[in-house]
Structure 1
Amino acid sequence: MKKPLLIIEDNAQNLYMMQFLLEKSGFTILSTMDGTKGVETALSCIPLAILFDIQLPGMDGYAVAAALKRHHELAEVPIIAVTSYAMVGDRERILAAGATGYIEKPINPETFVSEICKYFPPGWDAEGKL
């Protein structure tokens, strides 16, 4: 069974674009539109990776990253912020909260999937297998 990628994004257009690009590359996608539900979903499915925005209803991205990192079941799961927060210090702040990586919006459709894949261990594929 394919391990899904989880996208936590409250903007429907951003969610659609990320989902389209990732599915086109063979990934299975689960999505939620708020932080609290995103953490619950991550714990119930243990995804291949978690992509999340910082501005989220229910629980912001900083709290999401910190909550995800508290669960040992998710210790090996890349947690990647995909956000328009691009001011000095924003990247460092989200990484300090527990994110594995950081991608600025607007995303580049030509490089987005490869940017995500660089957070996977060598040899991983869209099936979530080595």
Structure 2
Amino acid sequence: MTRILLVEDHEELWDFLSRRLKRRGFDVVLAHDGQAGLEAARREKPDVMLLDMNLPVMDGWTVARTLRQDPATARLPIIALTAHAMSGDRDRMLEAGCNDYHPKPVDFPALLEQIDAAMLAAEE
């Protein structure tokens, strides 16, 4: 079973996404701030991480950079979730270590395609 780590601080969104992902057969691990997300990534060894970029305690930018510097998590596929899809943000997210990004509000079918693509790329 594919394990997804969802790092999101807004209850409505993590509730919505976790329920829909579980119905699709994913094992979902939740974290509600950046530090907890970083620790969960190291402990849970997820197949994909969905990472909000604007988090309390530690922001998503720092989480992504930190994961990329650690050999144990350097290859973890990270899809950034952000409400701030402004010009240049995509490049900043990729530079921070994210493999892809998904703007909020979430388009669930498109997000599923991104998850599939991230897992395929990780296998190569």
CA contact (8 A) 1:91 1:102 kept: yes
What is the alpha-carbon distance in structure 2 between the residues aligned to residue 26 and residue 3 of structure 1?
8
Q: Does 1:81 align with 2:61?
A: no
Report the TM-score when normalising by structure 1: 0.87
What is the alpha-carbon distance in structure 2 between the residues aligned to residue 73 and residue 29 of structure 1?
20
List structure 1 runs of 4+ shifted beyond 3 angstroms. Answer: none
**Which residue of 1 is the match for residue 54 of structure 2?**
55
What is the alpha-carbon distance in structure 1 between the residues aligned to residue 4 and residue 47 of structure 2?
5
**Percent identity over the alignment?**
34
CA contact (8 A) 2:68 2:75 kept: no
**Which residue of 2 is the match for residue 110 of structure 1?**
109
What is the alpha-carbon distance in structure 1 between the residues aligned to residue 55 and residue 11 of structure 2?
12
In structure 2, runs of 5+ residues without a counterpart are none
* CA root-mean-square deviation: 1.5
SS in 2 for 1:106: coil
> Which protein has greater RCO, CA pairs closer than 8 Å, 6+ apart?
1
Q: Which has the higher helix share?
A: 2
Report the TM-score when normalising by structure 2: 0.91
User: How many Å apart are 1:86 and its aligned residue?
Assistant: 0.7
